[in-house]
Structure 1
Amino acid sequence: MGEVEGPDESEDAGFAGLVDLSGFYAAVFKPFQDYVRNQNAWIGEMLAESAVVRMRPVLPRVVVDSHLIRMDAMTENLRRQIADLTGFNDMVRQALGPLAATYRTTQWHRVFASLGDITKGFYPENLRDVTPGLDDLETLLVDEGIPLMWVPGPPTVRALLEAPDAATRRRIIGRRWKGVVNDCETVLEEVHHPAVEDARSFALDVVHALRAGHTSAAQALAANLLDSILQRLDKTVRVQLTQNDFKAKGIKFKLDDHKFKVACTFAPVWYAHAKYFPQKGDPIPKTFGRHPSAHGVSRTQYSRINAVYALMLVTSVIKFFDTEPPGRR
C-alpha cells in the first residue's frame, strides 16, 4: 500500500559493497536487450510477409512468388535464430555461474533472508503461504467483505482464493463454519494486550454461543462488540474507516489510502457498515451488516453464516489492536 513501512535507512548501509553486479549486467542483461530488440524486428518482418501470402488470391503472381521465395529464406533464418538462441542460453548460464556462487556465500544468504522476513512481516500467519495479490485482496475484502487478517486458517483462505465467485466463497464459509470458529478461537486465545482483554472475553462468548447453536445471540453480541471496539478509535479515523457510501455515491474503500494491516483489517469492517435505512424502505440485506443487525432483526439478516462473518470481523479487529500499539496505526 502507499504507506507500507520499509527498513530503516541505517539498515541500508549493510547492503553496500556486498557484490558488484555491473559485470553481471554487462554480460547478461545488455546482450539480452540487444537480442530481444533484434528478435522483435525480425518477427515484425515475418508477420508482414505472412500477411502478403494470406492475400495471395488478390495479388499479382509475380508479387506473391517473390514473397514466397523470401518466406523460404525466412524459414532458414528461423532455423538459424533457434540455433543462436541455444547459444545465447549457454551464455546466460555461464554468466549466472559467478552470481550463483556469490549467492551461496553467507552474506547473500543474510540479504535474502532479510528480504523474506520483510515480506512475511506484511502478512499475518494465515496468509504467509498464500500471499494473495492486490486484486484478490480488493475482491474479497472490499467487494465481498470477507475478513482475511489472522482468520480464517490457511486451508480456508486457499479455498476462498480458488473459488470462482462470491456465492461459492460464501458457501465455503457456510460449510466450514466449525473450522472457522475454531480458527477464531485459536487467534483469540493468543491475544494478551490488556487493552483488549475484555473484548477478547466477549468474543470467546460468541464462539461458545455459536457452538451451542445460539446463532442469533452470537450475531447480536458480535455486532455490538464490533461497535464497542471501534469506539476506541479516534472519531475522525473511525468515520473514515466505516463511512460506507458505496450504495449512494459508488465510493469504495481504498486499500491504498492506509497502511497494509489497517487497510486489510478494516476494509471488511467498512463493508459491514453499508448504509441501511428501514424508514426509507431499504430491503434487509442477506449478508452481515452492522446496521441491519441492530435495526433489521429478522430471519433474513440473522443466520449462522452471518454470525460467523461477524465473529471473524471482531476477531480480526481485536487481533489488530493486540499487535499494533498506539502510534503505528
Structure 2
Amino acid sequence: MNDEQVPDEGSDDEDLDKALERFRISMDPLIKWQQNVFPSISRMLQESAAFRLNLAKNFPKIVPPLVTEVTQFQKQLQGMSTFNSSLRALIESVNRAYAPQWEGIFESISDFQSRIFPENWEGVIRPGVDEFESLLIDEGIALMWVPGPKVIQALLDASTPAERRRVISRRWKGIVADCETVLIDVTHPRLQGSRKFGLDCVRALKEGHTAPAQALAGNLLDSILRTNFDNAARLEVTRNNFKKNGVRFNLDDYKIRAAFTLAPVWCAHAKYRTEDGDPIPRTFGRHPTTHAVSRAQYSRINAVMGLMLVTSVIKFFDMEME
C-alpha cells in the first residue's frame, strides 16, 4: 500500500501568519490614529486647507466605520484555521493598496497640526487637547506663539502646577526674550501702540523692575480686549464665575486657535473681591494685579506669566485682523 501524499499544511499556516502580520502593520497606524488622535484632530481639521476641500467633512464620517470594518476583518482572519491562495492574494492586494495611502494621510495630518499650532510648537511632542487643557484653563499658562519649544516641552513634561511655575521661574530670561521676538514681529497698524507697551514690559523685566512690568501687563491686557472686542465678546472671555457656579471655559465654543489663546485670558479673570474677604491669590490674576498690590500677588513669575499672556493675545489679533 502506497503512502498517501500529505499536503504540507504548515506552509499555508506560515503564509497566513506572514500575510496577517503585513496586514496588521499596514492597518495599525489607522487604528491607533483613530483611537488616540482622531478626537482632537477632527476639530483641528476645521481650520485646515483640507477642510475647504471638504476632506474634514468626510473624514469624521468615513474613518470610524472604516476602522471598525478593518478591525472586524482582522478578527475574522485570525480565527480561520485554513488559508487558500485566493484569500492570501486578496490580503496582499489590500496591503499594497492601502499602505501608501495611510502614509500620505498621516503626512497630511502632521501638516494639519502645523497649521493649527504656531511656530513655537515646532518639535514639541503634541498631546491631545485634554492633556494640556488644564494648563490653559486652570493654570492660565499662555502657550500660543510664546514661549519657545523647549519651554513648552518642559511645561508639558512637568507633572504639577508647582513644577510648571518652577519651570517659568528658572527659564524666565529665555521666556522674556521669546516674548520680545514675537512682539517685534507684530505688524498690524492698529496694534502698534499695544506692541510698544508690550516691549515696555519686556524692558522692565530685563532691568529688574518686576512690579511695574506686572502692573503694565495686567492693564495692557484689559486695554487690548476692550479695544479689539465689542463689550459682549469681551465679557464672554473675561466673565469667570468658576468659584460661584463651577462653570469652566469651554474650548469647544471657539475655533481652536482662539480657544487656546483665550482660555488663559479667562483664567486670569477669576473673580477676586477684597470686600468679600477673598484671600489674595499667588497666581497671576487681572483683578488682584489691579486691586491687591501685595507681595503675595506681585512676583517675577507672575510678571512673566502676565507678559506671556499679553504677548499671546497681541499676536493672536495680529494674525486674525485683516
Structure 1 residue 135: deviation in Å?
1.4
Kindly tell me: are residues 6 and 180 of structure 1, through their superposed partners in 2, closer, same or farther at Cα, counting changes over 3 Å?
A: closer
Match of 1:234, as an amino acid?
D
Q: TM-score, structure 1 length as denominator?
A: 0.72
Match of 1:309, as an amino acid?
M
Q: Paired residue for 1:4, among 46, 60, 68?
A: 46
Q: Report if the CA contact (8 A) 1:188-1:204 is conserved.
A: yes
Question: What is the match of residue 96 of structure 2?
Answer: 97
RMSD, aligned α-carbons: 3.2
**CA distance in structure 1 between the partners assigned to 2:70 and 2:250 by the alignment:** 40
Unaligned runs of 5+ in 1: 17-23, 40-80
**CA distance in structure 1 between the partners assigned to 2:88 and 2:162 by the alignment:** 47
**CA distance in structure 2 between the partners assigned to 1:154 and 1:123 by the alignment:** 11
Question: What is the match of residue 76 of structure 2?
Answer: 34
1:272 maps onto 2:268 in alignment: yes
Q: Paired residue for 2:115, among 114, 117, 121?
A: 121
**SS at 1:4's partner residue?**
helix
**CA distance in structure 2 between the partners assigned to 1:230 and 1:300 by the alignment:** 26
**CA distance in structure 1 between the partners assigned to 2:150 and 2:118 by the alignment:** 14
Match of 2:267, as an amino acid?
Y
**CA distance in structure 1 between the partners assigned to 2:306 and 2:287 by the alignment:** 12
Q: Report if the CA contact (8 A) 1:28-1:92 is conserved.
A: no
Q: Report if the CA contact (8 A) 1:288-1:310 is conserved.
A: yes
Q: Report if the CA contact (8 A) 1:2-1:256 is conserved.
A: no
Answer with 88-97 or 267-276: which moved more.
88-97
**CA distance in structure 1 between the partners assigned to 2:273 and 2:153 by the alignment:** 36
**SS at 2:233's partner residue?**
helix
Q: Report if the CA contact (8 A) 2:121-2:152 is conserved.
A: yes
**CA distance in structure 1 between the partners assigned to 2:44 and 2:54 by the alignment:** 20
Which has the higher Rg, Structure 1 or Structure 2? 1
Q: TM-score, structure 2 length as denominator?
A: 0.73
1:154 maps onto 2:149 in alignment: yes
Question: What is the match of residue 214 of structure 1?
Answer: 209
**SS at 1:253's partner residue?**
coil
What per-residue deviation string (whole Å, max 9, x for no partner) do you get for residues 201-254 of structure 1?
110110010010000000011111000000020111111111100111111001
1:253 maps onto 2:249 in alignment: yes
1:310 maps onto 2:301 in alignment: no
Structure 1 residue 12: deviation in Å?
4.6
**Mapping for residues 174-213 of structure 1, pairs under 5 Å:** 174-213=169-208
Match of 2:153, as an amino acid?
R
Q: Report if the CA contact (8 A) 1:3-1:260 is conserved.
A: no
Q: Report if the CA contact (8 A) 1:141-1:147 is conserved.
A: yes
What per-residue deviation string (whole Å, max 9, x for no partner) do you get for residues 82-132 of structure 1?
x99xxx9998677423444x559xxx86x7655443321111111243223
Structure 1 residue 266: deviation in Å?
0.7
What per-residue deviation string (whole Å, max 9, x for no partner) do you get for residues 152-191 of structure 1?
1000100111111111011110111001101111111111
Aligned length: 265
**CA distance in structure 2 between the partners assigned to 1:146 and 1:220 by the alignment:** 18
Kindly tell me: are residues 91 and 180 of structure 1, through their superposed partners in 2, closer, same or farther at Cα, counting changes over 3 Å?
A: farther
**CA distance in structure 1 between the partners assigned to 2:45 and 2:291 by the alignment:** 36
